[in-house]
Structure formats: C-alpha cells, structure tokens
Structure 1
Amino acid sequence: MLKAPDPKELARRIAEAQALYKDRKSGIDHFAEVDPVSGRPISKYIDGGVETFPVPSAFEVLPVYFEAIALGNTLHPLGLVQVGLDFHGNPQFELYTHRPAQVQKLALDKIAADVTTQYTKEVEQHNEAFIQQQVDAQLRVDAAREERTRVALEAEKRAEVEKQIRETFKPVEAVQATAPAKVSKRS
C-alpha cells in the first residue's frame, strides 16, 4: 500500500533523535564507524549536547568550572568524573556540562530538519518500490493472459489445419490381394 507521511511517526522519530543528541557527549569517538575493507575502526567527531572539560588535577576544578559557566554551559548531573591517573599517580577528572541553550537549539533544529528529510525520503522510496512492485505484478498478469490467449489460438489453428489435412488426405481403401500359394517340391 502507498504510505502517507504520518505526523505522529515523524514526531516520535524527531523526539528520539533529539533525546539522543541531548544525552550524547560531544567529541571524538574512536569507534564511530568501521572500515568496510579492513574492518578497522574509524574515528569521527560526534556532536552532542554534553560537553566535557578536562581537569588536570583536583586543584583546578573551580577554575575549569568557572570557565565552562562563562561559556554559557550548565552543570550536568554527572558533574565531575575521575577518568584516570596521570604519570605521577595523581587523579585526573572531566567536568561534564550541558552545552549553551542557543547551541543546542540550533543543533536540535538541524536534527529535526534532517530527520524530516530522511523520513520523507523513506516514504517516497517505499511508495516508489510499491508502485514498481504493482507494475511488475500487472505486467506478469498481462503476460500470462497473453500467453494463455496465444496458446489457445495456436491450439485452435492447429486443430483447423489438422482437420483440413485429414479431409485432403483421406485413407485409400486397401485392396486385399491373395497371396499365391507356395508350391513345395518333393523329390
């Protein structure tokens, strides 16, 4: 059947994509894609609503926090997360923040436009595939109908030709000839 764009489905897809953006960490994902030839991972920049700031030591938490707030970011529920140790065994941290609202709004609007375009394209591809499927089915039905008609006409023509041949070449009545008797010679 042909599909029409469903506003509820579109709204659901947009909401899912936007929710994924809001909770995704911005940065380089070293396993974002896989090279189809070698199978190795390919790094790629991923855009998200969460931005992290590296904090080299516990003494620099407040300066990094104030710098992030000055950029318009707001604190994420994760807040400060220890990510490892430096060369000397001192803890290293990342400060999790939400990106500024205007940056998120631009990204969310772009996501909505991209999802709408993709959904519309999917519906058009589905409709085109359905139409091609129906055209192929109708052509198969027409070809079968034409084949049945052709076979019936050939059978009818064959019967007519056979009838004419049988009328033209009637069997000749066979004359029964008596075979001469064999004479046997005895000495």
Structure 2
Amino acid sequence: MLKQVDQRELQARKAAAEKQFRGRKAGVDHHASIDPVTGRSIGGYVAGGIEAILVPYAEDLIPVYIQKITEGYTLTPVGTVSVGTTAFEIYMNRPESQIKPTLAAILQKVEDDYKAEIEAHNAAFIESEVQAQINIEVRRQERELTEAAAKRRAEIEAEVRATYTPQPATEAAKTAPARGKR
C-alpha cells in the first residue's frame, strides 16, 4: 500500500528528537555514528541542549555560575561535576534563544527524513507492483506461446501422419521357388 504522511507519527518523531536534543550534552561524541564497513564507532560533534562549562579552579565556580545564569542558562539536575583535582564542569541547559535555531534545523531534518522514507517506500511499492504485473503478463504470453506451439505441432504431426501413412499392401504374385542344384 502507498503511504501518506501521518501527522501523528511525524509529531511523535519530532517530540522524540526534541527530547533527545534537550537531554544531550553538546560537544564531541566518540560514538556519534558507526562505520558501515567495519562496524566501528566514529566520533563527531553532536548538538545538544546541555552545555558543559569547564571551570578550571574551584574559586571560579560561583562567578561563572552567576555569569551563565544572567545569560539565560539554567542548571541541570546533574549540576557540577569534578573532572580533575581542581577542574569542574557545570552542566547547564542552554537558553531558548540558542536552542531554537538548532532545534528548528533538527526538526526540519526529522520531517525531511520521514518524507524521504515515505517516498522511498512508495517508490519501492510501485516498483514491486509494476514488476508483478510484468511477470504476470510474461507468464500469460509464455502460456499462450506454449499452447500455440502445441497446437501447431499437433497440426504438423497430423499432416505428416497423413502423408506417410502406409498404403495397403497388395498381395505379391507368388513365384515358384527357384530350382537349383544342391
């Protein structure tokens, strides 16, 4: 069957993509994609709604935190994490003004991918139906040719049998046995 864009399915995909974006840390992900040949992970940059702000010293935590709060960032449930003996990372949600353009691009990509998936499904369905109809037509033509060949063979066989039917044998004249010396 041909598929059409299902708005509920599209909205569900968009909601899942938005949830994933908002809950993911922006930055380098060493497992961003997979090499199709080797199956190994390939690193890459991933966009996310959470930003890890590196603070090199403990005494800078509060000033950096206050600065980011004034810029519109909000603290995540993870909060602050120690990444060394003196360094810390503050995990903060990015402001909506930064999230909206990136999120819009991600949602547009989700919609484009969904529509491309539907178009590919429809093209494959149409191709399979066309191929099925062609196969049916080919089998019908082969059956007709086989029937015509069998009919023509029967006609030719009847002609050959009529042509080469043995004539009734006439009785040969009896001859006397040859006489000779023995």
Fold conserved (TM > 0.5)? Answer: yes
Q: Counterparts in 2 of 1:37-186, with a 5 A limit?
A: 41-83=41-83, 85=84, 90-174=85-169
Deviation at 1:172, TM superposition (A): 2.8
CA distance in 2, matches of 1:130, 1:57: 61
Mean CA deviation greater in 21-30 or 39-48: 39-48
Query: Deviations along 1:32-55, whole A, 9 cap, x unmatched?
Result: 234556666433111100001112
AA paired with 1:149? Answer: E
What corresponds to 1:6 in structure 2? 6
Structure 2 unpaired stretches of 5+: none
Query: Deviations along 1:83-116, whole A, 9 cap, x unmatched?
Result: 2x2xxxx342110100011111222222221111
From the superposition, tell whether residues 167 and 56 of structure 1 become closer, same or farther in structure 2 (CA, over 3 Å).
Answer: same
Structure 1 unpaired stretches of 5+: none
Residue aligned with 1:72, SS: coil
AA paired with 1:121? Answer: A
Q: TM-score, normalised by structure 2?
A: 0.87
Q: TM-score, normalised by structure 1?
A: 0.85
Count of equivalent residues: 180
CA distance in 1, matches of 2:61, 2:26: 20
AA paired with 1:106? Answer: P
What corresponds to 2:18 in structure 1? 18
Residue aligned with 1:25, SS: coil
Query: Deviations along 1:42-76, whole A, 9 cap, x unmatched?
Result: 33111100001112232221022122223321111
Q: Percent identity among equivalent residues?
A: 41
From the superposition, tell whether residues 39 and 151 of structure 1 become closer, same or farther in structure 2 (CA, over 3 Å).
Answer: closer
Residue aligned with 1:76, SS: strand
Deviation at 1:148, TM superposition (A): 0.3
AA paired with 1:107? Answer: T
